[in-house]
């Protein structure tokens, strides 16, 4: 049974067509730089692999392009749109309305729209993808998988901010948590691999966006991102934690308006603000060549993560494993080493050779004397979405 997974970002769409339950990827690709004349469209099947530059101005045009390719007489993989039985949509913000994967109806769409105010870069694009998929795949079950859902288990003491309580009660101002699909996926893989049931894990998602979760007995207990996907770790272009007095200072003393402050903290800060680069590969290369800003940025990124590891080991009163995932977590041996250095106090000891060894698969990289397992677990948010859509389809 075919399940199409769509991940609509602010200027991109990623897609994968799965044959379930075998989990075989029939087709995958994406469109980057939507809104430009030089959008990049990629399409890959077992026999075709192509990347084309073309004008794609809107998500609507992008999704149409994807559907046309899937149905193409020669290069396509399906003969009729009816062959797609479910479309799984990644939705970034589900507020506190959704703790599970959900069949999309008018109510769900209205909620996604409401939460656009909290995720303005993501939710409108997610919703646009849904509306279009309903037209292009009218026979398919449309399913929403929320990034926030995994974190609905966070207790009040972790999710509430110490601000007047009516802001929580009347306006839902609280921590929601993000990257939940990835944290959930790598948690399940780790528990399966270690054959653990009761457990204290810390999962660290390091991609363009970065976040860290304390996972107790398979459930999110605390998480570094909060009200929006901006808090916590140092990211590609987002600052993560900062003292909010800086915002008042920027506005009151340096004449920034709120839009400029938002852009500064979300798009011009983080690794980019510290070094001029937001791709970690460039920063690592520069650091190796002696660039002091890049060296410091790596130290700062690792230091911030260490602080969260300490905090989460404390709130869970112990630690069985830490899990690295996503582009940086899976690939940067340098950053993993810097993070794990001098954490003997928690029984965390890395094996340098295992850490440096190249592999695409799930692996353990702790030394024999380490009391805590250290794992690299490749994330697969698209597969997790496909699995959840498949399970929901089977129930109906
Ligand atoms: P997202 O899905 O959030 O867009 P990814 O999970 O693909 O992001 O991660 C992107 C990041 O992964 C980039 O910043 C890049 O620096 C980093 N990355 C990818 N490959 C490597 C590598 N071999 N070494 C270090 N960092 C890498």
Query: What is the position in ligand 1's atom list of the atom closest to the CA of 236?
Result: 14
Contact 214, 314 (CB under 8 A): no
Average pLDDT over residues 120-143: 91
Dihedrals φ, ψ of 236, to 5°? -50, -55
Residue 9 reports pLDDT greater than 90: no
pLDDT in tens, 261-281: 999 999 999 999 999 998 999
Provide the CA 18 distance to its chain's centre, in angstroms.
20
Residue 184 reports pLDDT greater than 80: yes
The DSSP code sequence of 187-236 is HHHHHHHHT-SS-EEEEEEESSSEEEEEEETTEEEEES--SSTTSSS--S
pLDDT in tens, 29-41: 999 888 888 899 9
pTM, entire model: 0.92
* Higher pLDDT among residues 396 and 6, named by residue: 6
What is the distance in A from the centroid of ligand 1 to the CA of 328? 5
Residue 175 reports pLDDT greater than 80: yes
Using the CB atoms, write b or e for 239-264: b if 16+ within 10 Å: bbeeeeeebeebeeeeebeeeebeeb
The percent of residues in the chain predicted with pLDDT above 70, rounded, is 100
Residue nearest to atom 27 of ligand 1 (CA): 328
What is the distance in A from the centroid of ligand 1 to the CA of 209? 10
What is the separation, in whole angstroms, between the first and last Cα of the chain? 15
Residue 337 reports pLDDT greater than 80: yes
What is the distance in A from the centroid of ligand 1 to the CA of 280? 7
Residues at CB less than 6 angstroms from ligand 1: 207-209, 236, 279-281, 326-328, 331-332
Q: Is the peptide bond before 21 cis (omega within 30 degrees of 0)?
A: yes
pLDDT in tens, 216-263: 999 999 999 999 889 999 999 999 999 999 999 999 999 999 999 999
pLDDT tier at 91 (50, 70, 90 boundaries)? very high
Residue nearest to atom 13 of ligand 1 (CA): 279
Residue 96 reports pLDDT greater than 90: no
What is the distance in A from the centroid of ligand 1 to the CA of 237? 13
- Helix, strand or coil for residue 285? helix
Angle at 137 between CA 8 and CA 379, to 5 degrees: 40
User: To the nearest whole number, what is the mean pLDDT of the chain?
Assistant: 94
The DSSP code sequence of 138-166 is TTSEEEEEETTGGGGG--HHHH--SS-HH
Residue nearest to atom 7 of ligand 1 (CA): 327
Query: What is the position in ligand 1's atom list of the atom closest to the CA of 209?
Result: 3
């Amino acid at each position: 049974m075919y399940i199409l997974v769509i991940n609509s970002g602010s200027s991109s769409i990623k897609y994968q067509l799965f044959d379930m339950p075998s989990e075989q990827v029939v087709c995958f690709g994406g469109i980057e730089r939507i809104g430009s004349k030089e959008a990049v469209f990629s399409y890959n099947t077992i026999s075709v692999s192509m990347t084309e530059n073309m004008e794609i101005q809107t998500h609507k045009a992008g999704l149409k392009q994807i559907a046309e390719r899937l149905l193409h007489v020669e290069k396509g993989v399906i003969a009729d749109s009816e062959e797609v039985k479910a479309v799984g949509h990644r939705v970034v913000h589900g507020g506190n309305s959704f703790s599970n994967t959900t069949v999309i109806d008018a109510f769900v769409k209205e909620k996604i729209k409401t939460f656009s105010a909290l995720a303005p870069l993501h939710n409108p694009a997610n919703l646009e993808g849904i509306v279009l998929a309903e037209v292009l795949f009218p026979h398919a079950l449309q399913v929403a998988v929320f990034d926030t859902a995994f974190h609905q288990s966070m207790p009040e003491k972790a999710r509430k901010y110490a601000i007047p309580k009516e802001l929580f009660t009347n306006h839902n101002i609280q921590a929601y948590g993000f990257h939940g699909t990835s944290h959930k996926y790598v948690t399940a893989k780790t528990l399966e691999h270690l054959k653990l049931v009761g457990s204290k894990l810390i999962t660290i998602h390091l991609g363009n966006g970065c976040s860290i979760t304390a996972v107790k007995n398979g459930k999110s207990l605390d998480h570094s991102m909060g009200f929006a996907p901006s808090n916590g770790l140092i990211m590609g272009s987002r600052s993560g934690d900062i003292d909010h007095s800086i915002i008042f200072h920027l506005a009151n003393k340096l004449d920034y308006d709120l839009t400029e402050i938002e852009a500064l903290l979300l798009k011009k800060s983080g690794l980019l603000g510290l070094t001029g680069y937001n791709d970690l590969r460039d920063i690592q290369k520069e650091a190796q060549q002696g660039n002091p800003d890049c060296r410091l940025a790596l130290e700062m990124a690792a230091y911030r993560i260490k602080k969260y590891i300490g905090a989460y080991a404390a709130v869970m009163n112990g630690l069985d494993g830490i899990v690295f995932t996503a582009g940086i977590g899976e690939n940067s041996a340098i950053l993993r080493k810097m993070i794990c250095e001098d954490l003997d106090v928690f029984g965390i000891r890395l094996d340098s050779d295992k850490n440096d060894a190249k592999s695409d698969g799930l692996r353990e990289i702790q030394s024999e004397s380490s009391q805590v397992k250290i794992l690299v677990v490749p994330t697969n948010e698209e597969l997790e979405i496909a699995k959840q859509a498949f399970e929901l389809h089977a129930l109906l």
